[in-house]
Structure 1
């Protein structure tokens, strides 16, 4: 296989790396950057909306908070295990899934990942556009959406370093802004009386767990994109914990705020459920303070929207490169992928349904159905079957070690999706087991456990991994050694 020398260090502010391995000499940063990125990315209004859904659909606020915390911890642990792969491999997350599914087989989950990114980018842009409009006072919602799209494009084009800088800014602003809102709630409302007003209900409690877990698990397909520049010697344990606690603390804070505002009597009529952004502006006291809260909302949403755009273009490029065998693309191509993704997400957001809360709940739970099997296969293979040994050059070669298709992985993936159907609780379909459980959706648990167990049972004695991790230079050396050994004397 042809060896591609890494390009020189970039001389512009724009990131030049895409789906290729990040060379050791370009690695930088510490795991602390994972904490601030994921904390800042979760201190945002969509997480508040996500938390409110537990109350909107019937949970007592106390059990909603507990259920969301349990879900955030469970899903966050799975997501952080993906993050720990980044420093070791130096690769975007979805490239590594070729080791399980095959170079072409990985296209199936990749296409679903792109749909997920578009969905989250579009729904988040609706809320962010409202906040931008609250700052600019244009009175025209589409203007705020477009302005936010332009901001997302600029930061996503600048790339990895600047996304992490934005994450640090979102952390600081989020703490200040959300702490102020919490104080305002406690000062103006009798918050304590909201908790424990309803008896425990298993179905709504499990829904709260699913909302928390689903929120975290959907980060899995791109979380390693933001740890891949860390030095190879970075502790996997430290990366895991920094990612886990940054994401869990940020999301739980936001979701708890959502639980409280959804439970307040003021959250009816023209309150939070009808105008989430405007409600938070009014809660802040209005005036200049409201403008600052809108700014906090925009920065938080900008952080996570850049993650969606950046991950979306990486996934699109990974999909195309499976057929073209490209490892690197030009800056112009990189720009084209990002602009195209954001343009599509803007169009979707401008055409979005007004029934935002219900659609968002269904979107989160549906996406959860198709990504828990992928996550289970990726983690079981990496940590238990391959034991962190990957032939990196083979990830780009359909004729290499991992081949074009891995029938076992694809079969387990599809079986894992199908196994969840009886456990679904969706608007269009409710599974028979869910009905027997009183409406509780536990499909994501089935997806993780069933798929992981099936894949491990079928592959633990059939590992296709090398004896040790192979980077480009080692693979070439091994290949040349084999040629020398087999050549006639």
Structure 2
């Protein structure tokens, strides 16, 4: 394959049928590799760090990964059908310009995850290059940006490589861990505590739901004939298996190592594996796992920024220089946050995850109800780029539902800086994400099914788009 064929040309425009390639199995390797990484380990560890026991933390994490992963995989199944990145579809619900509201929050998410990933990956990179953490963070950020600029093909290659190498490393680390700990003792000390159980569910559910705003970006090149069920199940199995594997390791490490792990997450995990060449290999594995997910975050941030700005400028095609500029903005912002917060990573990461969950569950509920129940998997694709078209510039009913979904969660929300008034009657449990899914889903369905624009008239064809590209839009 020539180098010019490797570098992606598409951004938020429709992927033509003659450029589609791959199979649904590619979603399994990508999301397995993206989840076998150190930040997922830390996320699982938080369930124990904040008071949960091993058994019920593991059960809660499984429940959250399956529930959140199912929602995430439903978004993934949209990619082959429409050939569009995920957030451009939000224009059908919020309007061509109104989609900027959730998009701004999505961009904030990408910067936050880029930063949190760079903190841990920077430590590993620093050890590999014999430099300090600051230099390691910067080097890691530059490599991330370059791979994101190359685009879709290299992202999937990276996922395949990471899924194999990281899986082998986690098998080895698991064996080493089980040699050190008394597993029966850890599993014997089981005491169900509802708030701690729901915290574990929320941690893993938020981990999965945070992929929702960009998961279809990595399935949109699949052939239009790709089964939606196959895309759903391969995405769910890869993401849920990878994250649960990492989080289970994190639970066992946190329960057995305590402060030794909390003081230096990367150093402890590598020390568990050994020294010398083995340690160097494990530092490489940590950096590779984080590179996979950070490239996704950077690429997704680029897509979201283009979607936001193009809604007002009408631009659909971005040249290489523009692409590099958008990616550079994500890289610089994420790196700055990483350098500022690298000394307080663990204490703020839980609140960051739950805070994100508050904003993305209403968006996810609205998007899925609209796609599967209102539009029945058919969008007027040309109208997604026309503020005067079928979906309009601003869909105030959807924005109102989104706002209600946000407000409905506040009484049930638990974070370090805010606790809702209905938390204590529930024993301290955080169920805000459940409210954030159900309330906007019901409200949007009740409003949108009466809107004639949803299943509406025949779309008008768009010049430059093949007939098959508009079939997904035809009612």
Shorter chain as denominator, the TM-score bin is: over 0.9
What is the TM-score of this pair, normalised by structure 1? Answer: 0.93
Q: 1:38 to 1:469 in 2, by over 3 A?
A: farther
State the distance in 2 between where 1:46 and 1:476 align: 42
- DSSP 3-state at the match of 1:472: coil
Q: Hey, what does 1:412 align to over in structure 2?
A: 401
- DSSP 3-state at the match of 1:11: helix
Deviations 1:351-397 (A, max 9, x none): 11522212000000001000000000000000001111100010011
Q: Hey, what does 1:61 align to over in structure 2?
A: 54
1:433 equivalent to 2:426? Answer: no
Q: Hey, what does 1:267 align to over in structure 2?
A: 258
- DSSP 3-state at the match of 1:302: helix
1:51 equivalent to 2:44? Answer: yes
Q: Which has the larger radius of gyration?
A: 1
User: Which of 431, 435, 446 is residue 442 of structure 1 equivalent to?
Assistant: 431
Q: Hey, what does 2:471 align to over in structure 1?
A: none
Q: Hey, what does 1:206 align to over in structure 2?
A: 198
State the distance in 1 between where 2:390 and 2:268 align: 55
| 1:81-120 superposed matches below 5 A | 81-120=74-113
1:401 equivalent to 2:394? Answer: no
User: Which of 136, 141, 162 is residue 149 of structure 1 equivalent to?
Assistant: 141
User: How many residues align structurally?
Assistant: 465
Deviation at 1:404, TM superposition (A): 0.6
Q: 1:93 to 1:441 in 2, by over 3 A?
A: same
Q: Hey, what does 1:228 align to over in structure 2?
A: 220
User: Which of 245, 252, 274 is residue 285 of structure 1 equivalent to?
Assistant: 274
What is the TM-score of this pair, normalised by structure 2? Answer: 0.95
User: Does the aligned pair in 1 maintain the 2:382–2:459 contact within 8 Å?
Assistant: no
Q: Hey, what does 2:168 align to over in structure 1?
A: 176
State the distance in 1 between where 2:312 and 2:298 align: 22
State the distance in 2 between where 1:253 and 1:468 align: 47
1:358 equivalent to 2:347? Answer: yes
Deviation at 1:198, TM superposition (A): 4.0
User: Which of 276, 285, 291 is residue 302 of structure 1 equivalent to?
Assistant: 291
Deviation at 1:301, TM superposition (A): 0.3
State the distance in 2 between where 1:204 and 1:99 align: 38
State the distance in 1 between where 2:5 and 2:286 align: 30
Gaps of 5+ in 2: 468-475
Deviation at 1:467, TM superposition (A): 5.3
Deviation at 1:191, TM superposition (A): 2.1
Q: 1:246 to 1:328 in 2, by over 3 A?
A: same
User: Does the aligned pair in 2 maintain the 1:385–1:460 contact within 8 Å?
Assistant: yes
User: Which of 154, 166, 178 is residue 158 of structure 2 equivalent to?
Assistant: 166
User: Does the aligned pair in 1 maintain the 2:6–2:153 contact within 8 Å?
Assistant: no
Q: Hey, what does 2:120 align to over in structure 1?
A: 127
User: Does the aligned pair in 2 maintain the 1:390–1:468 contact within 8 Å?
Assistant: no
Gaps of 5+ in 1: 1-8, 478-489
User: Does the aligned pair in 2 maintain the 1:87–1:233 contact within 8 Å?
Assistant: yes
User: Does the aligned pair in 2 maintain the 1:390–1:470 contact within 8 Å?
Assistant: no
Deviation at 1:195, TM superposition (A): 1.7
| 1:235-250 superposed matches below 5 A | 235-250=227-242
RMSD: 1.6
Deviations 1:123-179 (A, max 9, x none): 1100000011121222x1111111101110111011000000000011001111000
- Give the ranges of 4+ consecutive aligned residues of structure 1 lying more than 4 Å apart after TM superposition: 467-471, 473-477
Q: 1:30 to 1:323 in 2, by over 3 A?
A: same
